[in-house]
Amino acid sequence: MMEGHVCLVTGANAGLGFVTAEALAARGARVILVGRDAARTQAAATRMRQRTGSQAIDVLLADLSAQARVRQLAQEVLERYDRLYVLVNNAGALFTTRQVTVDGLERTFALNHLAPFLLTNLLLERLRTSAPARIITVASAAHVGARIPFDDLQQERHRYRGLTVYGQSKLANILFTYELARRLAGTRLTANTLHPGFVATGFARNNGAAARIGMTLLRPIMIGPERGARTAIYLATAPEVADISGRYFANRKPTESSLASYDQDAARRLWEVSARLTGLETTI
> How would you write the chain as a 3-class SS string?
CCCCCEEEEECCCCHHHHHHHHHHHHCCCEEEEEECCHHHHHHHHHHHHHHHCCCCEEEEECCCCCHHHHHHHHHHHHHHCCCCCEEEECCCCCCCCCCECCCCCEHHHHHHHHHHHHHHHHHHHHHHHCCCEEEEEECCHHHCCCCCCCCCCCCCCCCCCHHHHHHHHHHHHHHHHHHHHHHCCCCCEEEEEEECCCECCCCCHHHHHHHHHHHHHHHHHCECHHHHCHHHHHHHHCHHHCCCCCCEEECCEEECCCHHHHCHHHHHHHHHHHHHHHCCCCCC
In a domain, 284, yes or no: no
Quick: pLDDT tens for 1-53.
799 899 999 999 999 999 999 999 999 999 999 999 999 999 999 999 999 99
In a domain, 61, yes or no: yes
In a domain, 283, yes or no: no
In a domain, 82, yes or no: yes
Quick: pLDDT tens for 62-99.
999 999 999 999 999 999 999 999 999 999 999 999 99
The pLDDT, as a whole number, for residue 218 is 37
The pLDDT, as a whole number, for residue 202 is 54
In a domain, 158, yes or no: yes
CATH of the domain at 110: 3.40.50.720
Quick: pLDDT tens for 180-236.
999 999 999 999 999 999 866 555 555 454 344 334 433 444 578 999 999 999 999
The pLDDT, as a whole number, for residue 201 is 56
In a domain, 77, yes or no: yes
112: pLDDT strictly greater than 80 = yes
In a domain, 196, yes or no: yes
The pLDDT, as a whole number, for residue 280 is 96
In a domain, 1, yes or no: no
For the chain, the domain total comes to 1
What is the domain range of residue 251?
Answer: 6-278
pTM: 0.93
Catalytic site positions: 166
